[in-house]
Amino acid sequence: MKKNIFFIFLCFIQFSILIAQDSKSIKLYTKDSYMIPMRDGIMLYTEILKPVGNTEFFPFLLKRTPYGSETPYEKGDSIKTENVPAPNRLAEGGYFFVLQDLRGKSKSEGVFEISKPLYHLKDSSKTDESTDAYDTVDWLVKNISNNNGKAGIYGVSYPGLTSLQASVNPHPALKTSSPQASPADMFLGDDFHHNGAFRLSYAFEYAYLVENIKESLSLYPFPQYDVFDWYLNLGSLSNVNEKYFKNKFPSWNDFVNHPNYDNYWKQQSSLKNIHASEIPILHVGGYFDPEDLMGPQVMYEHLEKKDASNKNYMILGPWNHGQWSDKNSNALGKIQFGSNTSEWFQDFEKKWFDYWLKDIGDGKFNEVHSFQTGTNQWKSYDSWTPKNAKIKRLYTHTDNTVSFNKPTTETGSVSYISDPLKPIPYRKRPIESTFTEDSNWSSWHVEDQRFVNSRPDVLNFKTETLLENITVTGKIKAYINASTSATDADFIVKIIDVYPDFYEEDKTMSGYQLPVTMEVFRGRFRKSFEKPEPFTPNKPEEIIIDLHQINHVFLKGHRIMIQIQSTWFPIIDRNPQKYVPNIFKAKDSDFIKATHTIYCNSKYATYIELPIVEE
């Protein structure tokens, strides 16, 4: 009996020590900087923020970035925890925070390459972001005192991509990775293209941002505040190098020289290079991310196919690009979430890293956590899409309605004229430069779509007022049967939650048209992204568009709208609509009007596949 009591007492003491270690709050950090050698001799500038006055052994949390890692502190400064450029909850718990410039950026040596492929997979003598991460972790565990021999890597956007790449052939000390808003494939989706459609304004401004000056970021000096007309007056994309870039920027030159899904794009695609989770991975993404919405979703889905050891996890929230890192994320634009969603995430993030790097907690994480918009609550799932979701088809009809009933007539269609010289703005004007502080770029994915729904080149199909809630959880696909009087066309499809005409909870939201999800597809790639081909004029063809993953409840009293259009400017460049082999080399004379027809009949139906969950 005494032995049992003594054993229980020891367990209590050990448990108390663990609790005390976890609850101990770090108050100050100090900064050191190093030039860390890579295997090829290149030195990478690295800052390490270390907990002050503590004899514990801490793990490393690494962030590798092209955007500049230098903090505004001097070596040896005492830095308050709340001023550490890292998640506050993690800083309070105690980590070595490692910030590193990618090779060729800021203070690091070498040559920078946007979306650098994992070269070492084919040639072990070459370096890339995976080998650089390996060499960095190796140096850290051998040279920084008071480390516990464990490291994690995380980051949002480009640092998210480097986190994902670091998980390939990882250093033994690298125990986990959290790629957040990481791109996966720059042609199929994410930053530079969506389904082959070129993201003009973003790509133009990003190329200038990161490639104009090695040491810092550069905003393009637009001569006007509203850039819509500037891009329109730019004319053909061939004018970019001729008038402005002068072949100075490698990324833009690569856009021009690789208009199709060739090996240039494939070799840098994470979908082609990464096929299994070698360490636990936590993908994080936002439903309303205007930059890398696709990446976290498709990488989770891709890696899940070979996740026998259960190392693949995902969190999806109602966020824009990295909004989960903010102190308060209870809304985006006019859309309220009902709680501080970033607080929920940051609590989870701490549990995640504390478990894998400090052995704190039980490690029981649900496969997927997703925020359910409409009802504004977090949900957890053991599989994604949920096993109880049933696919139902929502069909368009010629009277501009949608229903779950397939059209019965053998003929029927709706047409509109698309003019690339008069494109539809992708968000309300003024359209500010993307990366300026006062830009509305961050919230355009939830912008009220009434600003375009009365245009003659926009089709609107709506349900009747819903008599009960409809819960849609998982991947949505659009099947568009269409034809064009020309030889090429883009199609943009939006799924919209239409609020009641008089919304009693908030009168200012009455009639609001919330785009739950939306996407573009360049028609020439309808059969193959590798081998585009023109349309045969007036011949109906099916175009399948991945509208990504959502978790949304269309509430009773609301309506569901499907909106279809063919320009989305200047986020998407103007399709000339006259097929040319390379749109980057199109002439101004190639841009023509065209009549596009959407078919709504029993032979050629246009519909949306919705994964509906009965709750």
Distance CA 441, CA 199 (A): 14
The pLDDT confidence band at residue 395, using thresholds 50, 70 and 90, is very high
For residue 3, pLDDT over 60 is answered with no
Q: Average model confidence (pLDDT) for the chain?
A: 94
Q: What is the pLDDT of residues 248-258, one digit of tens each?
A: 999 999 999 99
Rg (CA), the chain: 26
CATH placement of domain 193-266: 1.10.3020.10
* Per-domain boundaries in the chain: 27-175, 193-266, 390-613
Mean pLDDT score, 82-92: 93
**CB proximity list for 338: less than 8 A, separation 6 or greater:** 330, 376, 377
Phi, psi of 127 (to 5 degrees): -110, 155
Backbone angles phi, psi at 393, to 5 degrees: -100, 130
Average pLDDT over residues 164-174: 98
What are the E-state strand segments in 428-583? 459-462, 470-484, 490-498, 513-522, 541-554, 559-565
Q: How far apart are CA 326 and CA 102, in angstroms?
A: 24
CB 510 within 8 A of CB 558: no
Long-range contacts of 139-145 (CB under 8 A, 24+ apart): 139/36, 139/37, 140/36, 140/48, 140/60, 140/62, 140/96, 140/98, 140/173, 141/60, 141/173, 144/48, 144/50, 144/60, 144/96
Cα separation of 94 and 91, whole Å? Answer: 5
pLDDT of residue 24: 63
Q: What is the tens place of the pLDDT at every residue in 10-66?
A: 344 343 333 334 446 899 999 999 999 999 999 999 999 999 977 789 999 999 999
* Whole-number Cα distances in Å, 482 to 130, 423, 478: 43, 19, 12
Round to whole Å and give the CA distance between 360 and 73.
Answer: 31
Per-residue pLDDT, averaged over 435-461, amounts to 96
Would the pLDDT of 587 be above 90? Answer: yes
Pairing type for strands 174-180 and 96-101 reads unpaired
178-203: buried (b, 16+ CB within 10 Å) or exposed (e) per residue? bbbbbbbbbbbbbbbbbbbbbbbbbb
Q: Could you identify the residue written with the tokens 């478990």?
A: 355
Give the pLDDT confidence score for residue 76 in this predicted structure: 87
- pLDDT at position 11: 42
Q: Report, at the CATH architecture level, how domain 390-613 is classified.
A: Sandwich (2.60)
- Residue 295: per-residue pLDDT: 98
Closest to 392 (Cα-Cα) out of 452, 302, 453, 476: 476
Q: What is the pLDDT of residue 215?
A: 85
β-bridge mates for residue 503, sequence order:
none
- Token look-up 């509305």 returns 440
| Domain 27-175: CATH architecture, name and number where available | 3-Layer(aba) Sandwich (3.40)
Residues 154 and 167 sit within 8 Å (Cβ to Cβ): no
> What is d(CA 547, CA 564) in angstroms, rounded to the nearest whole number?
13
Neighbours of 31 (CB within 10 A): 21
Give 241's contacts (C-beta < 8 A, 6+ positions apart): 247, 252, 253, 256
Q: Is 367 helix (H, G, I), strand (E, B) or coil?
A: coil
Residue 432's alpha-carbon distances to 194, 233, 239, 288, in angstroms, are 21, 16, 21, 19
**What number is the average pLDDT over the span 54-82?**
93
pLDDT at 537: 98
Q: Which segments of 31-99 does DSSP mark as H helices, in order?
A: 88-93
Query: Shortest CA distance to 162 belongs to which of 142, 182, 145?
Result: 182
- The C-alpha atoms of residue 485 and residue 472 are separated, in whole angstroms, by 35
The answer to whether residue 8 scores a pLDDT higher than 70 is no
Confidence of residue 4 (pLDDT cuts 50, 70, 90): very low
Q: How confident is the model at residue 2 (pLDDT cuts 50, 70, 90)?
A: very low
H or E, element range at 371: strand 368-372
What is residue 17's predicted lDDT score, i.e. its pLDDT? 38
Does residue 421 carry a pLDDT above 80? yes
pLDDT value at position 216?
Answer: 87
Tokens of 303: 């890696």
Q: pLDDT-derived band of residue 372, with 50, 70 and 90 as boundaries?
A: very high
Residue-wise pLDDT tens digits, 110-125 = 999 999 999 999 999 9
Whether 433 has a pLDDT exceeding 50, the answer reads yes
Task: Report whether 588 contacts 366 (CB < 8 A).
Answer: no
